[in-house]
């Protein structure tokens, strides 16, 4: 692929299609599960713990368990009331740690405010930490050791690599330094020999910094924040943000040539937009759309982690791509 250092903007930017890549990965996971079972193994088990009734969390957990079951993974959800105490939640995690049929545990975040999510995540057995949020997993990631990598940054790298986007030697600017996205992604890009710069809310001259990027990752959670002034021609843009737009005038302004988005708005009362102004994508060499870019990869990579956990716990051969 053309290196954006050449700053040759192709006439049409390439769309990095997350739905297609996620479907490929999910089919690979299903294959892997079939092989595991055919070799006499137990189907992998993934249990999600959902505390309270946050509607977005219900949707996320639902899509994770549905996708698990489609891939032959035994998915379960433990629903706990919002008034669950810290002691009760820790005891629930202890129970899952001790349950041999459970290979992966995920505690859906955010937890209700009275619960200490760090302590809960630290209680998960690192061998079952398929979200990759345990300090042991984080440390191993930065030591370039085999570990569970959080699903969103893993998915970003999968999407880039499956589309032949070159990472080695590139100037990557990651805007957003969360534990979920920015920091683990930096470790993965460094491991692939990118030159990585972090930016965040206190960064000075953000526009200039972004314009110097060959690979720009926007992960800040602000609708359409990054405009044409942030994107140099020929940049590869990864838009991680998922934001809901509920203002019709904004939808019309951001999607002037996309009548289907306005139709979606009329039907649902909102549309999704990333952290990048969709009009800025025209300058890119390639970009991830929202929706249909990074989002679908997150669930797919969680399934990959779950099968790896099952294989390790059952002592069977490593899944392909284990060292990633
Ligand atoms: P966080 O809120 O945890 O972190 C946001 C980061 O953005 C912080 O580092 C913050 O800086 C930085 N930031 C905020 N405002 C600015 C600004 N004006 N300029 C520069 N930096 C800024 O968010 P997450 O990492 O959890 O999520 C980011 C986005 O990605 C959200 O839209 C979320 O919905 C989406 N997401 C999407 C996923 C997917 O599957 N596609 C999965 C996970 C998240 P500071 O540290 O200084 O406060």
Q: Among residues 103, 131, 275, 277, which one is catalytic?
A: 131
Q: Half-sphere exposure of 87 toward its Cβ, with a 13 Å CA cutoff?
A: 0
Ligand 1 pocket, CB under 6 A? 152, 175-178, 180-182, 199-203, 206, 219-222, 240-243, 294-295, 298
Q: Rounded mean pLDDT of 103-125?
A: 97
- At residue 232, does pLDDT exceed 80? yes
Distance 241 CA to ligand 1 centre (A): 7
312: enclosing H helix or E strand: helix 294-314
The protein residue whose alpha carbon is closest to atom 35 in ligand 1 is: 241
Residue 166 and residue 288 share a domain: yes
* Residue 167 near residue 215 (C-beta atoms within 8 A): yes
Q: Rounded mean pLDDT of 51-69?
A: 94
pLDDT, the chain, mean: 94
**How far lies 210's CA from each of 77, 215, 221, in Å?**
41, 9, 16
Residue 245 and residue 175 share a domain: yes
204 is catalytic: no
Residue 237 and residue 103 share a domain: no
Query: In sequence order, which residues have a C-beta less than 8 Å from that of residue 62 and are 6 or more positions away?
Result: none
Q: Per-residue pLDDT tens for 134-162?
A: 999 999 999 999 999 999 999 999 999 99
Residue 106 and residue 48 share a domain: yes
* Confidence band for 316, pLDDT divided at 50, 70 and 90: confident
Radius of gyration of the chain (CA): 20
* CA 194/CA 215 separation, integer angstroms: 9
Ligand 1 pocket check: which of 181, 202, 203, 291 to mutate, most ligand atoms within 8 Å of Cβ?
A: 181
How many beta carbons lie within 10 A of that of residue 141, not counting itself?
A: 22
55: enclosing H helix or E strand: helix 55-70
Kindly give the number of the ligand 1 atom that is closest to the alpha carbon of 177. 9
* Residue 271 near residue 236 (C-beta atoms within 8 A): no
Residue 87 and residue 170 share a domain: no
CATH code for the domain of 235: 3.40.50.720
CATH code for the domain of 48: 3.40.50.10860
Residue 154 and residue 261 share a domain: yes
> Long-range contacts: 254-259, Cβ < 8 Å, 24+?
254/224, 254/278, 254/279
Structure tokens, 187: 């470790």
Has residue 161 been placed in a domain?
A: yes
Has residue 319 been placed in a domain?
A: no
Q: Rounded mean pLDDT of 265-277?
A: 97
Distance 3 CA to ligand 1 centre (A): 27
Residue 114 and residue 67 share a domain: yes
> Long-range contacts: 198-203, Cβ < 8 Å, 24+?
198/174, 199/173, 199/174, 199/175, 200/175, 200/176, 203/175
* Confidence band for 266, pLDDT divided at 50, 70 and 90: very high
Has residue 288 been placed in a domain?
A: yes
Distance 176 CA to ligand 1 centre (A): 5
* Helix residue spans in 103-244 (DSSP H): 117-123, 135-142, 151-162, 182-191, 206-211
Q: Per-residue pLDDT tens for 10-36?
A: 569 999 999 999 999 999 999 999 999
* CA 13/CA 269 separation, integer angstroms: 29
Percent of the chain with pLDDT over 70: 94
Residue 116 and residue 161 share a domain: no
Has residue 315 been placed in a domain?
A: no
Greatest CA separation for the chain: 58
- At residue 320, does pLDDT exceed 70? no
Q: Rounded mean pLDDT of 118-136?
A: 98
Q: Per-residue pLDDT tens for 272-313?
A: 999 999 999 999 999 999 999 999 999 999 999 999 999 999
- At residue 318, does pLDDT exceed 90? no
Residue 164 and residue 118 share a domain: no
Q: Among residues 32, 108, 183, 239, which one is catalytic?
A: 108
pLDDT of residue 10: 54
Residue 154 and residue 122 share a domain: no
The protein residue whose alpha carbon is closest to atom 17 in ligand 1 is: 201
Residue 236 and residue 288 share a domain: yes
Has residue 215 been placed in a domain?
A: yes
Kindly give the number of the ligand 1 atom that is closest to the alpha carbon of 200. 21
* CA 131/CA 106 separation, integer angstroms: 6
Has residue 220 been placed in a domain?
A: yes
Percent of the chain with pLDDT over 90: 94
The protein residue whose alpha carbon is closest to atom 22 in ligand 1 is: 201
Residue 168 and residue 266 share a domain: yes
pLDDT of residue 2: 42
The protein residue whose alpha carbon is closest to atom 30 in ligand 1 is: 241
Tell me 85's DSSP state. -
Strand 215-218, strand 236-239: pairing = parallel
pTM for this entry? 0.94
128 is catalytic: no
pLDDT of residue 317: 55
64 is catalytic: yes
How many beta carbons lie within 10 A of that of residue 44, not counting itself?
A: 31
pLDDT of residue 83: 98
Total domains present in the chain:
2
pLDDT of residue 4: 44
One-letter-per-residue 3-state SS of 232-290: CCCCEEEECCCEEECCHHHHHHHCCCCHHHHHHHHHHCCEEECCECHHHHHHCCEECCC
Q: 276: domain range?
A: 150-296
């Amino acid at each position: 692929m053309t290196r954006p250092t050449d700053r040759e903007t192709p006439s049409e930017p390439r769309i990095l299609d997350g739905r297609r890549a996620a479907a490929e990965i999910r089919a690979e996971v299903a294959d892997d599960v079939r092989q595991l079972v055919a070799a006499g193994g137990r189907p992998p088990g993934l249990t999600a713990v959902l505390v309270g009734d946050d509607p977005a969390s219900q949707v996320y957990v639902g899509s994770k368990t549905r996708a698990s079951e489609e891939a032959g993974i035994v998915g379960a959800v433990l629903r706990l009331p919002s008034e669950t105490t810290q002691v009760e939640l820790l005891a629930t995690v202890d129970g899952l740690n001790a349950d041999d049929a459970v290979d992966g545990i995920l505690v859906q975040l955010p937890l209700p405010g009275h619960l200490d999510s760090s302590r809960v995540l630290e209680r998960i057995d690192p061998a079952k930490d398929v979200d990759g949020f345990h300090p042991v997993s984080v440390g191993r990631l930065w030591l370039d050791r085999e570990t569970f990598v959080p699903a969103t940054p893993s998915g970003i790298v999968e999407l880039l690599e499956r589309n032949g986007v070159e990472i080695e030697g590139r100037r990557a600017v990651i805007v957003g330094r969360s534990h979920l996205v920015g920091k683990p992604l930096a470790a993965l890009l460094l491991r692939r020999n990118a030159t990585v710069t972090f930016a965040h809310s206190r960064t000075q001259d953000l526009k200039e910094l972004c314009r110097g990027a060959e690979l720009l990752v926007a992960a800040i959670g602000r609708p359409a924040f990054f405009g044409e002034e942030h994107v140099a021609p020929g940049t590869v843009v990864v838009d991680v943000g998922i934001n809901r737009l509920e203002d019709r005038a904004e939808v019309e302004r951001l999607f002037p040539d996309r009548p289907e988005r306005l139709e979606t708005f009329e039907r649902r009362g909102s549309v999704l937009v990333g952290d990048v102004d969709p009009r800025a994508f025209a300058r890119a060499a390639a970009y991830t759309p929202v929706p249909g870019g990074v989002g679908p990869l997150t669930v797919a990579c969680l399934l990959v982690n779950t099968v790896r956990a099952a294989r390790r716990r059952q002592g069977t051969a490593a899944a392909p791509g284990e060292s990633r």
